[in-house]
Structure 1
Amino acid sequence: MDHNGIDKIFPGIDKNLITIVENRIDSFEKSLKKSGLQIDPDLDIEADLIKVFLFSEFVAASFSKNPDIFKNLIDSKDLFKTYSEHTYVDRIEKTISKNMPVTMVKEILLQTKLIETIRIAWRDLTDTAKLSETLFDLSCLADAIVDRAIKTIYEEVCEKYGLPMDNQGNFQKMIVLGMGKLGAGELNFSSDIDLIFVYPKEGITNGKNMISNEEFFTKVCRRFLKFFSAGSHEINFYRVDTRLRPYGDGGPIVMSSSGFEEYYQAQGREWERYAMIKARPVAGDKEAGFKLLKILNSFIYRRYFDYGSFDSFRDMKHRITLQVKNKKLKNNIKLGAGGIREIEFFGQLFQLIRGGVEPNLQERKILKVLDLLQTHDCINAATKNDLKASYVFLRMVENRLQAYADLQTHDIPEKEDQRNILALSMGYGEWNNFAKDLTSHMQTVHHHFSQLLVSEDKEKPDKEMQELKELWVNINDPQFAADYKAIGGFKEPDRVLNILRSLEEHPNTKRLTPNGRKKLARLIPVLVRKIGQQNDPEAILVKLIDLIVTIERRTCYLSLLIENKGALETLITLAKKSPWIITFLSKHPALLDELMHPATLYSPPGKKALEKEMGTRMAGIPPEDLELLLEELCVFKQINYLRVSAADVSGNYPLMKVSDHLTYIAETVLTQVLLSAWNIVTQKYGFPDGIPDKSTDSCGFAIIAYGKVGGLEMGYKSDIDIVFLYEAESGVTKGKEKSIDTIRFYSNLGQRIINALTMHTPAGTLYGADMRLRPGGNSGMIVSHIDDLEDYFKNQAWTWEHQALIRARPVAGYKKLSSWFNKIIKAVLIEKRESKTLKKEVGEMRERM
């Protein structure tokens, strides 16, 4: 193999590096010759071989010691293949036979790790694989090895003690949760793996040597840890870290599901919520693992915007900052200032705050999280692009550092040769250019990290603020309060004192925890001061104290107003202009988060933007979770009603535009409700015969809006007048075991839509729905066939029903049916009428009205 063209691949390469790579290739070629192995001379891999042997001492040494591994990877073409998620499991299982000794399984797994790590390193170092593929492959490999190890050890322990059973006689399997980078599917070379072990239920084994399930699974875990405690002279096995389990090193190595759940719900701390974001079942009973994580979801993600945990998050950030300073981690790309950890903290902080309300933020992969944060307007595009680019760069550096010698390191090397090799592996011709970009990335990351959790509650200490703080603390002291002849810009200080006393004496305030009282004491002086700067401050104070009484038991909302000066000022502005908005916020306090986004608060999204927002909100909701779906729809409606009302009272929108936007919101909701109901009904009964395709655009069903929605004249409290149409011929549904006739199918669909619109959820109700304008009124069918509708309007409808058609229009469903309906109403409305009869009927209608 001719390798004299090294300087052509790396122009200007240092002579020391040429010597290094030549020596490694010479050693490899001698091993090939000694083993009698030959490589196809026509195979064009010389350039890649030079790169890999320069960039990885580990791969070069492995190939020299085991040239057959190289030959097999070449002959099988595995070096040039992309693996699927199941490839590693399938290959391992083919090499493991039943009742194989644990020691032999371990040797097979070690050899598999060596071969596949070499393959992954080759593809990474030659830029054949993107970063995402490398992280995916490393994670899948670890999953497969851990899963096989657990199975083998479980079977070994079962032979001695029998199968573990619960009290109902069901077999029990181990649940293994991967945490950190393994859990996220973002594992790097030479990484630790963080694992937590759980077993489903208490019970005993069914063998001759019966032991409790706790003892059984403890034995499995101990043997598993011993299994991974040492590798071989050729490859390191995974270092297993179990310190993220409940109670840490002081806790049991494995817990039952009930004990596990009880710990997190009763004692779980903020950093444990943070850690559980990336948790994923990686081995054992994965189905049970996902069920367990679903139970813990309410611990990880609060069902509200979690601003109440800001102090805990600040403490976590402070500890990260201190560690950087104390350990002098300047050259550490993971833990140093601007390192990988700071990017992950940035994303996960927003997930903890917002993930319970915006379920699609419940994502393990940081790059997807950053995209979603921009989608939800948590960060701007520039910040997202900065952090994503830096994350990819730093993770590539991490992999190149660790692939060099298969060592767990995150430190930039001190030796000149190793620095130059690192620079070349990253595509740089010289070290200085690489170092410049590395510094730039880390400085950018640290800048964004430093901006997190910067409190806006930093009023300059002055006499007025100090007096207001003292006033709140002593609000019930008559002598102290009597000294206040003036409070800020308020004209009636006695009235202000009474308003504040009413808050202090309110039952909700009395029931506050010490932490809640502390937060209220921080908010009130700032609030009073800012309100005092407004016109008619007493009236504004009354409105906002009423709001605070409603929300104060959920101290996260107090934190939101304390932490965000802009949100507090926006709230005061809205209170000044609209009592209705403050009442609306009192009923739906989760909407306070919208005060932090003035760009959308005063400029409501149009129809297309609403549809996009709806798609984003629905993306993270399981289709079968109807309750959560309807709750999310209510939140969608409320958020957008708040945006429209804010634009309305600020004078940004005229009345016509307000009505248009309220109508767009209703149409978007109706479209989504139809889609959800359609999915549920077709899942149960299959599809009606003869529909063009299975989407709601061709479902043979349409929603017709009348009245305020039809006329684009929606108000804030408007109900919606709707009629349902279908066009399918008589027949039965197909595709499921249970089939029903077409009329029943569409009636069922219509009834589900009505139920969804009117059902009460924790977030409220969508709309009042009125169907009295359908043919036959309240006594008519819930759905009408288009032919019957046409006949009804031509031969049976009253004049007032024809008049109602003036504002009727299709708003959701089958477009062809909608077009058909429009033709029918046009024909009805332009039909010639006898003027005297018409005048008489219209007059009678007006008298009745």
Structure 2
Amino acid sequence: MTAPGRRSSTFTRLLRHGFTEASAAERLLDGPELAPIRNDPVLLEALGATADPDLALRGLVRLLEAQPSPTARRELLDTLIAAKPLRDRLLGVLGASAALGDHLARHSGDWHALVTYEPRDLHPGLEEFERGLAEAEDPVSLRVAYRRCLLSIAARDVCGTTGVAETAAELADLATATLRAALRIACAAAPDDAALCRLAVIAMGKCGGHELNYVSDVDVIFVGEAVEGGEGGDEQAALRAATRLASHMMRICSETTVEGSIWPVDANLRPEGRNGPLVRTLSSHVAYYQRWAKTWEFQALLKARPVAGDAELGARYVAALDPLVWQAAERENFVADVQKMRRRVVENIPVSEVERELKLGPGGLRDVEFAVQLLQLVHGRTDASLRSGTTLDALLALAAGGYVGRADAVQLGESYRFLRLLEHRIQLFRLRRTHLLPEDEADLRRLGRSMGLRADPVAELTREWKRHTGVVRRLHEKLFYRPLLDAVAQLAPGEARLSPEAARERLVALGYADPAAALRHLEALASGVTRKAAIQRTLLPVLLGWFADSADPDAGLLNFRKVSDALGKTPWYLRLLRDEGAAAENLARVLSAGRLAPDLLMRAPEAVALLGDGGGDGGGLEPRGRAQLEQEVLAAVGRAESAEQGVTAARGVRRRELFRTAAADIVGSYGTEAQPAEADQGALVDLVGGAVSDLTAATLAGTLRAVVRGGWGDTLPTRFAIIGMGRFGGHELGYGSDADVLFVHEPREGVEEREAAEAANRVVAEMRRLLQIPSADPALLVDADLRPEGKSGPLVRTLTSYEAYYRRWSLVWESQALLRAEPVAGDEDLGRRFMELIDPLRYPWGGLGEDAVREIRRLKARMEAERVPRGMDPKLHTKLGPGGLSDVEWTVQLLQMRHGAEVAGLRTTRTREALAAARGAGLVSEEDAATLDEAWVLATRVRNAVMLVRGRAGDTFPSEPRELAAVGRYLGYGPGHVGDMLDAYRRTARRARGVVEELFYAT
């Protein structure tokens, strides 16, 4: 027994040496296995130097227990005490890897693999690993030999003999040797197949790039051909034989035996992925990559390297595909495809794991790899020095050539090494494929100690990990764009920089159609030593990335220069973009999404303040309600000295609020890094329709007040109300919509009708004039053509006149038009009484007669036949085409007129609300209602998009390719997918037309 005093002393020493389970460790040290060396201070020092002293001690005891004889145990102990290199290696492995501790316990003699410590052993190459696997003749013995080799790699790694890049290269060489051994075993099992074909194994991914993890899928592609290059049946027979060999080789590596598995061999990077043949001829590979391959497939080929099988065939494969790889950057939408692939990877990470993802998360390893590969593909066409499959080597070459700033390359390289080392240490513990930082404190402590962090391992590790991911996130986009700024700013004469040709090359690859103009804008923005230029150089790298994510990067950059020229001397402008997280990205999205929002902003650039987190006085991008808008407009009118000044103020508010709504719509559609675009499409349509309608109502209320004050003081001789009609009354206005209205008045007591009518008409004429005066603010067209008798009738009627007309002369289309009538400005009581007057017309008791239904159908057919412009594809006309707005709205309105008197929910001016009420009342099935709603929302979104992109209204998709792409981007379709957008629109409209045929025409 150990004396209490001595036990206490040992216990304290164990704690001092980093043991967390000191009592258990003390018992193990008192056990018979360690009796010969328990008092040796060197052993405790060595255990304390490991990542997990408790784990190392347990592993050592298990290894001693597993020795086949006392002599073998004594040999191990003697060597352990006498040979420091072995002691450091063995205990280092046992303290870092429970899995390799288990291996040593099962194969107790494998510790001898760690004894040799000579210069030639420090960095073994492929030949040494092949010798280590040479005697393996079956999957079980191959696994044992593989783990023995892995043991030596891990020992050099944890002792710091090799760096992370060397360790990764050794792991790739070991994987290469393993693939060769597995193919040798497969060929030995099927000599007839081996004699019939030539098979080359091409390593891809990290194995191909000489940067493999401890545990990772090994990505491969197989190439096969007949031994004598035969055609027809010989070639097919050879491919079948090669496929059998390749499949067997994969199973040898991937399947689990009593010794576990090695790693999965993944052939899904082959042409057509899992759907394609496992083995192809070289000519078949070349044909596929020439005709069908996607951008990411050429990106993957950057790391292609022949590793096993027929070396000559493998070399021919690389030689044949190499030219195609370096032409990939010339493909349309090249950069957008690469960045979209990166975003898709991030989006597939579970939300609960994204903050712990070392490889795929923001600021992770994949960000470095994608950035480096993208720059390689852009500039490797003309600079062969960049054509390396190894990330760190390629990064050094990019820095040497001036394609990446040297300081940025050093920082990025350091962060990449840290993250790779952390990934290695995580995987080494259990030899499991994972890229997640653990959450358990004991695991974090072991990881921190394994990376040399000893004072407070958990806190230090967390701090360093956050720091390095932050560096990667900051530099990821900057890598593409910072050298462009350095090329034009010319502030660091000693730094290698992009040549003008390389700068243009990069801008073209990033989607800029006019690289020369883009470089001029960059020079104007970033050159000089002023504070403004310095802040611009900080902002532009990320802004340029957001511009490149749009359909028109050139417009985004040009518009940014215009805004900066206008506001550059305003203190708050650059501070807003620099300090408020959302402002810069929101501005980039808005400036590159089309003409409307930038045009509105250029007329009053101070509206940039709305894009910030706080949004200045305006409250950010949340559209303001009608009451708040009306209060502001009426207050501005009240301060004006004339009607014209009052309406100018009202139009200024309208311009600002149109910009706010357009910006909210664009940001909601595009999304941001912080908030991906997941907004409900119907919600965005309702947001725009409601906001523009409320804004129009407030503008009319302010204009009415200004005109009355200017001509009559506080009181007009007649009560006056404005009734919104059409989309205005339905709260469904678009950005470019006119305001459809009716004007109604009622003479005040004691005022003659002629005087009242004269005043009312003067008000209308003056309102329309003032709202259309050319100015910096967009005009508001007031359209009264839906009034009784149309253009032939008087602009303004009294309530009594309306009542007489509707009682005697009203046509069915006028009753239908009144379904969307709603008071929007003026005398509230008069507006309410007008609604009471028209309700029996639009919601008739007993519904519609058959004659009225036939008349509605006739009118609609006539409208479709006469109004769709010639030469235009009617299937893409959002208003009058099949399944378009008119189809849905007339169907809903027919239901309203038939059933509105009985179903209260149908008595609404809003199309979507009425459709939902019809569904709730059982008048439309849930499926049909959903189909109509989807079509109406999509058609409205297209019209809004056209106005945002072109700056003028349109009812069909633009024909100009860049404008069409911008509409697609707004609707969620990335570069190269406008065809998918048009197909989706036709499909949605076709389904809606089927419902309309049944509900509108057949019932």
Q: TM-score, normalised by structure 1?
A: 0.50
Would you tell me which structure has more helix in proportion to its own residues?
A: 2
The structure number with the bigger radius of gyration is 2
Higher relative contact order (CA 8 A, sep 6+): 1
